[in-house]
Structure 1
Amino acid sequence: MKFLHRVFVLLLMSTLVLESEAGLGGIDRRPRRSVCMSRPYPARASMVPCMNRPTHTCYNYNCYPGCVRVTGSTTRTCRNGRWFGTDLVCKGSCCSSPPIPRGTMVESCPSPYTDGAVCTYKCSRFWHIPDSGSTTKTCSNGVWTGTDLVCKLKKEPKPVCSAPPSPANTRKKRCSLRSPPQQSDYCVYECSPGYVQIAGIDFKSCSYGAWKGPDLVCVKSCPSPYTGDAVTKYCRPRAPFPVGARCSFYCSYPLYIPVHGNTTRTCSNDGTWTGTPLFCIRARPCQALTSPTNGAQSPLAPYYFPATVTFTCNPGYVLNGNETTTCRPDGSWSNSTPTCTVGQCSTLTAPTNGALTTFGVIFTCNSGYVRNGAETSTCQAGGTWSNPVPTCTPRPCPGLTAPTNGALSPTGPNYAYPNQVTVTYNSGCDLDGVSPVTCQADGTWSNLVGTCRRYEETTIMPETGETTVMPETDETTTMPKTGCPSPYTSDAVRKYCRPPFRVGARCSFYCRNPWYIPVSGSITRTCSNDGTWTGTLLVCIRAKPCQALTSPTNGAQSPLAPYYIPATVTFTCNPGYVLNGNETTTCRPDGSWSNPTPTCTVGQCSTLTTPTNGALTPVGVIFTCNPGYVRNGAEISTCHGADGSWSNPVPTCTPRPCPGLTAPTNGALSPTGPNYAYPNQVTVTCNSGCDLDGVSPVTCQADGTWSSPVVTCRRNKETTIMPETGVTTKHG
């Protein structure tokens, strides 16, 4: 019965397999590729892999010279795990590859292996010699003749080594030696304490009676040089430090400064460092500096040793004192702040056809003239001016060409402001245009050069095609103006308008901001019917810079210097401080400020109380809560000194909540929840007949998690008698 049952199970399983393969598209009957394990090696034949075929799947065979094929295949192919074809059989006077007896090797054996070929053998091991047999084999009628060579061990003693060497300044770390040392015995070396390796290797072995391997070379070394927390070192070479190694030391710039010790130390022959360790201390910051009146300083605070500040004076002022000062290690300055006074130079005269500013620093030329020379001149410490007074030359106009049948007076070719050129015409001609024309301040001509036409010229009227004769006349007809010349602007003025400038055209003018300011003239001009511009020429002068400002104590300012009209500086105070004075100040044209720098004083607010289960900073600005509590309210409160109130009330600190708990099966929680928070404790109780599996009570911790995972209640172990065996077991 059991046998029939097994047969039924096997038939059922095969049926299921066939059905599953049919469901997947039928049984895959394609041949599967397999690897042939061994290659055929026919005697007296050579073997070569087939071309353009996968490796180890096809080979070509040929009989050795002197032999001919009797039967078998010359090509064997691996398919489905076996080789197709039959072994090649070669007959004749050739031999197969010569045999190699155990412990021997072929010394010489010329191929092909034809009848009469001789192969010579020798022992393959150095310490073996021939014992019996022949050292040659001969190919005779396809068979190698001669007895196999047998080798034996030499009876001479094996080579031994002397005691292992001991290079200077080294010691043996471990050795594997026999007595006396023999082949393959070895020793491992290391440098003696206080020495480091610079060449050689740490291993020597006994080989054929001699110790092989270069000696380990060790030289005296120094320990790593000491450096404090404020010192950084740079060594060449890096650790280990042999004799002659050099290390450089420097302080952590800019917070630390050296007080004693050497910045360079060298490893000496006795294994110690020259000099003494570098010792650095934290540098004391230097107090902020105030720029001199009518001057400036660079850079701005903060300053640490060895910062250097450079002072400069505004144009027209001379520096009295040292130009630079350096921050010392003790927080003091090497020089006091200098002053800027009005330069004591000779009075400058305005250039002809030009002008200069009140302090004789900036030169300008009148309208129609061009400056030849520097725009500014500064009074230097020696009482001399940096640049001479420039000259103002008339602005040139382009050359003119005399009209046909006419002439120019003067003839040119060089014309400049305010030259006038008269156009004259030959006898028998009339002038068609304006004469004279004037070279204007902007370098253009007031009108185009007219033409000269003969009397009684014939003109065809375009409207009718009739021919008329222009009569000779001495009357002068005044033509109305159709536009204005380009309005003149100086180097300090810019205009906004485009040609052509017809009657009614409007131009706007403005100074180059922020370097120039208007002093007179019109900012808008219109081309009138008479060909002239309304208003007067806009005149701008260079604005004087305002002196640098110092931020109020416990406050700040924005932006920083330099300042030119109409720059505005805004002042702010740190949290807990109140601004006394104007919040802003504006740079005026004369270089002064509209308002003085304000001050920042401690706000007069009531004392804040610490929140329950929390804390506040000494100045009562930042609130924090104790571990296990969460802040409800603002973190920061700022004193509004003006009305004595705080920006935010004192927050509260409430216990951090923990996630809700679910009572275990066959158990209960106390308290039942669902809201738990730090540092609540929950007790787990189990029903009668159940045991507690876990810890009770569990506590809500400061991070909002429970101290132990949820516990379970399982029934007590009960006693049950198994009916089959009568064995008593306990189960839960």
Structure 2
Amino acid sequence: MRSNTKETKPDPTTDSTTLQTTKPTTDFTTIQTTKPTTNSTTIQTTIRTTDSTTLQTTKPTTDSTTIQTTAPTTDLTTIQTTKRTTDFTTIQTTKRTTDSTTIQTTIPTTDSTTIQTTKRTTDSTTIQTTKPTTDSTTIQTTRPTTDSTTIQTSKPTTDSTTIQTTRHTTASTTLQTTFIPTTILAECPVLTVPTNGSLSPVGSNTYQDVVTFSCDQGYELDGSTSVTCQVDGTWSGNIPHCNAVQCAARQAPANGAVSPTGAVSYRNGVTFTCNTGYVLNGVGTAMCQADGTWSHTAPTCPPIQCPTVTAQANGAISTTATSYQTVVNFTCNPGYVLNGTTNTTCQANGTWGNPVPTCTPIQCPILTAPANGAFSTTETSYPTVVNFTCNLGYVLNGTTNTTCQADGTWSNLVRTCRGEMMRKCPTLTAPANGALSTTATFYQTVVNFTCNPGYVLNGTNNTTCQADGTWSNLVPTCRVRQCPTLTAPANGALSTTATSYQTVVNFTCNPGYVLSGTTNTTCQADGTWRNPVPTCRGEMSSTLIDTNSL
């Protein structure tokens, strides 16, 4: 079956024919049509026009232009239109190198025909035709031998172009086209951006679209990193989630605790505490970081320290440790008794539970002086030593002293003083030129020795009668005191060179000299001479006179 269409147009100003279809800049949709079970489906398309249609035809440099389209397997014709923002459609035909223009629709080998429609955002279609150099153009549509339609345009053998334009009194043109039932390409559910993550590209959900997922810092992907939209309208993998990075559980420090005890997610933290009596050394909190590590190392819980304890006087301590719960035991040296608690404990508040005790000396029983005797002190504390004495004429029966011992007892039994009035020591004789203080000779008698004036004591000045009947020292002697040695005066002489106490020295002068001073001097008891040494003065003149008178 043939179909001819003619359009009448004003005389063109050019010599060629151009059919140009303007490709839209917007998206287009591919519609797949399945061969219907009936003969045809009618779709009516209304094309809006203005009061005029401009067809511009440009003469090609060749004789033909070939345009090929695909037609369905039924008696349908494929029409491709471009939606424009104006009220006209421009179709431009470019000069070809052949002699004819063929519009051919080829039947596909399957039961469906693909019709591609370009979606526009405007309401009009513009067809622009340039006048050819000939007077007419014949557009011939040849019906195929199958259920499809082939539109073939052949260049006429004449030089004329016949174009017929039908003007409507209204602003629209109606084209009736038959389509087959269509099936839209598969679409998958629109994916939602995962919490704490992102996907790319956003909004893709058509068959074979691939969407890739990623997570924010501090979060890790749980599921497939990418999914693909499948032909059945489902995504190829599990839609992932972004889970917070987990930090490993922290171990509680010795003598402390950590909360919480399990694994902790990104931006959350743990808190460390110490048991009673222990103090936190380090940072008390740690945060889980984006890389799964902790912001701080775990602290320690060392024990609280109490002040240093010093051992008490005359005592000792069991340890110098000062940490929490340390027990210090106190002891005293032998002879001392503990006054206070025997131990103290370092408490959780850093103080000792008890004060340091004191060690006081052990006390021995009070002593009583023996009859006819006495003791040196009334002190009875450890380790006091008490000396005993007996009155004059009495002898001590026992040791002379006793000591207060560590066990609180005296070292010796109490002694007594018994009378001993008989002489025990030999009778003493006073030294020559000396004297005795007493002639007594009984036990413990002390005899003092002295010398007469002009005599000096040679030996100890006393002696004591001892318990064994002997004197403690020998009787001394009294030695005569000596004066300094004298020198004879010049031109004179001394009567003696002796210097002992009471010695008298006489001075004389040689003949012709007269003594000037005392004629003698005596050695005194204090060891000095009574008079100084005189001088001898010459008297020669008086002697001559006496000679002449003779």
Question: Shared topology, TM-score over 0.5?
Answer: no
Tell me which structure has the larger Cα radius of gyration: 2
TM-score normalized by structure 1? 0.30
Structure that is richer in strand per residue: 1
TM-score normalized by structure 2? 0.39
